[in-house]
Structures are given as structure tokens and as C-alpha cells.
């Protein structure tokens, strides 16, 4: 989206905006919600109106303003609902990067959630008579044909789940594939082989994108989980399809992801409580910084809490920590104070003593046995121990805070939840989020391991929304523009 500065003589803002008094960006946020689904000229008028008011009614929260504009830009994309797809070749990028393992010489799908999430868009396209050509990546074959990373088993699973025949082609581009696609009939579905078998996919080679575009009248991107990558099948193909005069639209899953991680958090019902955990502060510091502008409370767990503890001058024993991020942690504490955000770190922890096992993991790192798990109620962690979970007092404090929430965003586990001995803190948070949801709060789970933890606790269907993206969700929550979204056609 281009933003022009205009003067009042050049442009009259809509009447609603004239009537507005403009104390801060939150007022704009509320009004923007009714405009996000408007057609392009109305949105342009709205933005222009804001700019006029911005010019004349200072002081103004510039950062809040930029968030509103970016939300408007993100939501302004064409969606699959806006298109006539009958008899058209619809090339659709999906995220079928499903976990698989080998059983009796066959690759078996362990978790079909990602396939399930694409069914609404596929059902719509089948119903409306499109010819559906699916493309996806699986694993990291590094540009080579790797039989264990073939998408063939996914085609069979998809056919089961969709209740429609799904053909499979053992290549992605080229004359043979073009011929096949050109012979398809309305309602046919085909899945192409792993796009990453071609090195040109990740290098975003324009000639490869052009080959993909030859298979399409329309491009649909429903792969939110891959939208943070500028690859041939995400951005390159969109450019090439648009150059040929075709439309590029978001699928229904992509639209939902942008709505929940974008618009819903742009205008959160308050109190807005954010729970952040996981391994590293460095992965999430931009999200923390951005959410400090919006949240009423931020609750920190996981290993990243130890960097915050270190920033407070506390001892953290052998806990996972990033000493080079202590200054960032201090800045976050400062900002929270300035903005009046309740910013909590654990007051007690489950700790254990790491002992070498002599074994190495897949990445060649020593595997440690975590012995003698116990609750540490002291602020300092003993020298021989490492923090592995939040403690019961912290879990209770976090539960109270979550119970007050009207909007919840959760990203990252509270401890090493993969080990049942250290999953209690994460499970307590999961339960508190579900209880708050039952009382009417909107709960948004920002992808990755918190989704795994909720599913493990069989609570996945009891929250408002679970993102399918890992890296993409984080980048979007940071406020970054996702290249795969930016490449789609405007409404
Ligand atoms: P992330 O991908 O950043 O959300 O991190 C998830 C990972 O953080 C999980 O594999 C957890 O086991 C790990 N994790 C959470 N808490 C701790 C902790 N206290 N010490 C070590 N690893 C942790």
C-alpha cells in the first residue's frame, strides 16, 4: 500500500472522521475495524481521512497509527471468496509440511492437522467448480529429489479427508505437468510433487516461478506457515501470475490467520493478557517490544525468563540463558514501567540437576539427564541446578491474571513441557486459558510449541484460534510484512 500525505484542500475526509475527536490511536483502531473489509477506494479515503486529521489534531500516537495502517494494508488483500473460479485452473500453495516417520519401509503421516486446515478452502473451490492444482513443500530436501520427502502419502491422506479423488503427479513443473493440468475438468484435484526438490524454489528463480505460473489462471495462497519466506511458490509465482493478468488471492485459512493474529489483536477487548514462553528472548524480543505497546499484562515463562532474572541481578545456576540479551531484557522492564504494563516473571521455579549421560542428540549436542526435580521458592537458583518450569506459586499468579482477561495471546511453553515432569506449568496455563475462553475471553494461540502443548493436553479445540504458523506467526506478531501476503492482489 502506498501512503500519500494530503492537505485538507486536496481531500475531504469521510463524515464519520470529521465527527471524531482524536485523543489517541485507540479511537482510530475501533473505527478502523469497520473499514478493514471495505473496498479499495473507501479504504483509501479512510486512510487519507486519518492523515488529514493527523495533520490537524496533534498530539498523536504515531506508532499506534502505523499499526493501524499496516493492519489495513494486510487486510486489503483479495480472498478466494472474491473470485469466480468456475472452470479456472487454480494453483494453490498449501502448507503440507506434515510430520512423517518411516514404518515398515513406508512413510506415515503422524499429524494431519495441516491437511485438515486446508479443507475449508478446498471444499469451497470444489463446490464452485475450480480445477485445483496443489503445491507444497515437505522437509528440507535441499533442491534434490529425496524419496522420503515425497508428497505422495499426503495425496492419499487428503483424498480420505476431503472425500474427493486426489491425483498425484511425481513432478512439479514442465511440459508433462502442463499437459496434465490443461486436461483437468472442473472439480478435479491434483497434488504436485515437493516444490523444494527444485533448488530454484528457495532461490526464488524467476524462470521457475514462470513455469509454475503456466499452470495457473488464478493463484491462491493458503500456506500461512510459509508466508514469511520469499520463495518461488509463495512470492515468485504470485508475481508471474499477476504479470500474465491473473489474480492472486488469500485462501480461507490465510484470511483467518491474518484476522486473528492481525485485526483481532489490533483492537483487543481489554484486559489484553499476553503469555510468552519458550527457549530464547532473542527469538521473541521484537514481539515483546511491540506487545508492550498494546497489552495490559505480559506474563513470561520458559527459559527466556532466566535472561530476565539475570537482568534483575539474580542467580540462575545452570539455566538456559542469553547473557548478551540482558540489556534488551532491562529495556523491556523499563518500557513496561513507562507504559503501565503489568510485566511478570516467575517468582518460583521447578529446578533439576543436569547430569551428563555420555550420549549425543541428533544435532550432536550432549544429552543431559535432569535429576532430582524439585520446587525452588527462592528468587535465586542454586549453582548446581537449572530452571525447567515455572513453579506452583507463579502458575497460580498467572492463572489469576489470565482469569481477568478478555483477550489472550499465548506463544511458547512455560517449561520443558516435552518431559511430563516439567509440563505442569504449561498445562496450568493451558487450563487457565481454556477457562477464561469458556467465560467469554478470546484466546489466540500464536503457533509453534504452545499449539503442541494444548493438543497434548487435549485442549486444542477449546480455544478461540490456534495459528498454523511457527516462524510466520512470530514475524507477523512482530509487525513485519510477510512477503507471501504482500505478493497477493489488492481487493
Ligand atoms: P520456542 O520454540 O522458542 O517456543 O521454544 C520451545 C522450546 O523451549 C521447547 O522445546 C521447550 O522444551 C523449551 N524450553 C522451555 N522452557 C525451558 C527451560 N526452562 N529450559 C530449557 N528449555 C526450555
Cα–Cα distance measured from residue 256 to residue 280, given in angstroms and rounded to the nearest whole number: 28
Mean pLDDT of 470-490: 92
Tell whether the model's pLDDT for residue 444 goes beyond 80.
yes
Cα–Cα distance measured from residue 230 to residue 207, given in angstroms and rounded to the nearest whole number: 15
pLDDT digits (tens, 9 = 90+) for 122-155: 999 999 999 999 999 999 999 999 999 999 999 9
Hey, where are the domains in the chain? 15-75, 80-255+482-486, 270-440
Closest alpha carbon to 64 in 12, 34, 22, 18: 22
pLDDT digits (tens, 9 = 90+) for 187-221: 999 999 999 999 999 999 999 999 999 999 999 99
Best probe residue, ligand 1, of 283, 285, 305, 449 (max atoms within 8 Å of C-beta):
449
Cα–Cα distance measured from residue 248 to residue 436, given in angstroms and rounded to the nearest whole number: 38
Give the confidence band of 110 by pLDDT, cuts at 50, 70, 90.
Answer: confident
217 preceded by a cis bond (ω within 30 of 0): no
Per-residue cell: 116:
485438515
Is residue 239 part of the annotated active site? The answer reads no
Region of 139 (left: φ > 0; alpha: ψ -120 to 50; beta: rest) is left
Please give the sequence-ordered ranges of beta strands (E in DSSP) within 65-105, or none if there are none: 89-93, 100-103
pLDDT digits (tens, 9 = 90+) for 457-478: 999 999 999 999 889 999 999 9
Topology alike, domains 80-255+482-486 and 270-440: yes
Is residue 458 part of the annotated active site? The answer reads no
Tell whether the model's pLDDT for residue 277 goes beyond 50.
yes
Minimal-distance CA residue to ligand 1 atom 2: 278
Identified catalytic residue from 43, 93, 114, 229: 114
Is residue 280 part of the annotated active site? The answer reads yes
Q: Is 322 in the pocket of ligand 1 (CB under 6 A)?
A: no
48 or 311, higher pLDDT: 311
Look-up of cell digits 518500557:
335
Cα–Cα distance measured from residue 276 to residue 337, given in angstroms and rounded to the nearest whole number: 18
Residue 36: predicted pLDDT: 43
Tell whether the model's pLDDT for residue 439 goes beyond 60.
yes
| Secondary structure of 137-171 as H, E, C letters | CCCCCCCCCCHHHCCHHHHHHHHHHHCCCEEEECC
Identified catalytic residue from 26, 152, 280, 290: 280
Q: Is 278 in the pocket of ligand 1 (CB under 6 A)?
A: yes
pLDDT digits (tens, 9 = 90+) for 409-431: 999 999 999 999 999 999 999 99
Q: Is 388 in the pocket of ligand 1 (CB under 6 A)?
A: yes
Is the domain spanning 270-440 CATH 3.40.50.1260? The answer is yes
Residue 391: predicted pLDDT: 98
Share of the chain above pLDDT 70, in %: 85
Give the confidence band of 118 by pLDDT, cuts at 50, 70, 90.
Answer: very high
How do strand 106-109 and strand 100-103 relate by DSSP bridges? antiparallel
Average pLDDT, the chain: 88
Tell whether the model's pLDDT for residue 485 goes beyond 90.
yes
Task: Enter the pTM of the model.
Answer: 0.82
Taking the domain 80-255+482-486, which CATH number applies? 3.40.50.1260
Specify burial of residue 165 (Cβ count, 10 A radius: 0-12, 13-18, 19+).
exposed
Cα–Cα distance measured from residue 183 to residue 189, given in angstroms and rounded to the nearest whole number: 12
Identified catalytic residue from 129, 431, 471, 491: 471
Tell whether the model's pLDDT for residue 33 goes beyond 80.
no
User: Cβ neighbours of residue 419 under 8 Å, at least 6 residues apart?
Assistant: 370, 388
Report H helices in 139-280: 152-162, 175-182, 199-202, 206-213, 237-243, 252-258, 264-266
Amino acid at each position: 500500500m502506498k501512503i500519500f500525505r494530503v492537505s485538507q484542500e486536496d481531500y475531504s475526509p469521510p463524515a464519520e472522521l470529521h465527527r471524531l475527536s482524536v485523543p489517541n490511536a485507540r479511537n482510530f483502531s475501533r473505527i478502523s475495524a469497520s473499514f478493514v473489509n471495505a473496498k479499495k477506494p473507501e479504504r483509501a479515503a479512510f486512510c487519507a481521512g486519518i492523515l488529514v486529521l493527523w495533520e490537524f489534531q496533534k498530539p498523536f500516537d504515531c506508532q499506534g497509527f502505523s499499526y493501524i495502517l499496516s493492519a489495513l494494508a494486510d487486510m486489503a488483500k483479495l480472498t478466494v471468496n472474491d473470485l469466480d473460479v468456475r472452470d479456472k485452473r487454480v494453483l494453490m500453495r498449501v502448507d503440507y509440511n506434515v510430520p512423517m516417520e518411516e514404518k515398515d519401509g513406508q512413510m506415515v503421516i503422524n499429524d494431519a492437522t495441516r491437511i485438515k486446515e486446508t479443507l475449508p478452502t478446498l471444499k469451497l473451490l470444489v463446490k464452485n467448480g475450480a480445477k485445483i492444482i496443489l503445491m507444497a513443500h515437505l522437509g528440507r530436501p535441499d533442491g534434490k529429489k529425496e524419496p522420503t520427502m515425497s508428497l505422495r502419502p499426503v495425496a492419499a491422506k487428503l483424498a480420505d479427508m476431503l472425500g474427493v479423488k486426489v491425483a498425484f503427479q511425481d513432478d512439479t513443473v514442465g511440459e508433462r505437468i502442463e499437459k496434465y493440468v490443461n486436461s483437468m475438468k472442473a472439480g478435479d484435484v491434483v497434488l504436485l510433487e515437493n516444490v523444494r526438490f527444485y533448488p530454484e524454489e528457495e532461490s526464488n528463480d524467476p524462470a521457475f516461478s514462470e513455469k509454475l505460473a503456466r499452470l495457473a489462471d488464478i493463484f491462491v495462497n493458503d500456506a500461512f506457515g510459509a508466508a514469511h519466506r520469499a520463495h518461488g511458490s509463495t512470492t515468485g509465482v504470485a508475481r508471474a501470475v499477476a504479470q500474465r493478468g491473473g489474480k492472486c488471492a488469500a485462501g480461507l485459512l490465510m484470511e483467518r490467520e491474518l484476522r486473528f493474529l492481525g485485526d483481532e489483536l489490533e483492537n483487543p477487548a481489554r484486559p489484553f493478557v499476553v503469555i510468552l514462553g519458550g527457549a530464547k528472548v532473542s527469538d521473541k524480543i521484537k514481539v515483546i517490544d511491540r506487545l508492550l505497546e498494546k497489552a495490559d499484562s505480559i506474563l513470561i515463562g520458559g527459559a527466556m525468563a532466566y535472561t530476565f532474572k539475570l537482568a534483575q541481578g539474580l542467580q540462575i545456576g545452570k539455566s538456559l540463558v542469553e547473557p548478551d540479551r540482558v540489556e534488551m531484557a532491562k529495556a523491556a522492564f523499563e518500557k513496561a514501567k513507562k507504559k503501565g504494563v503489568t510485566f511478570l516473571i516467575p517468582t518460583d521455579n521447578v529446578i533439576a540437576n543436569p547430569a551428563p549421560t555420555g550420549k549425543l542428540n541428533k544435532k550432536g549436542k550432549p544429552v543431559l539427564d535432569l535429576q532430582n526435580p524439585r520446587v525452588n521458592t527462592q528468587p535465586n537458583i542454586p549453582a548446581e541446578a537449572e530452571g525447567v518450569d515455572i513453579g506452583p506459586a507463579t502458575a497460580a499468579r498467572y492463572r489469576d491474571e489470565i482469569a481477568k482477561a478478555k483477550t489472550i495471546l499465548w506463544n511458547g511453553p512455560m517449561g520443558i513441557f516435552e518431559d511430563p515432569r516439567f509440563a505442569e506449568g504449561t498445562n496450568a496455563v493451558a487450563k487457565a486459558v481454556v477457562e477464561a475462553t469458556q467465560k467469554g475471553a478470546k484466546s489466540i494461540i500464536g503457533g509453534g510449541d504452545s499449539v503442541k502443548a494444548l493438543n497434548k493436553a487435549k485442549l486444542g479445540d477449546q480455544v478461540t484460534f490456534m495459528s498454523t504458523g511457527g516462524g510466520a506467526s512470530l514475524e507477523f506478531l512482530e509487525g513485519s510484512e510477510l512477503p507471501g501476503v504482500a505478493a497477493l492482489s489488492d481487493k
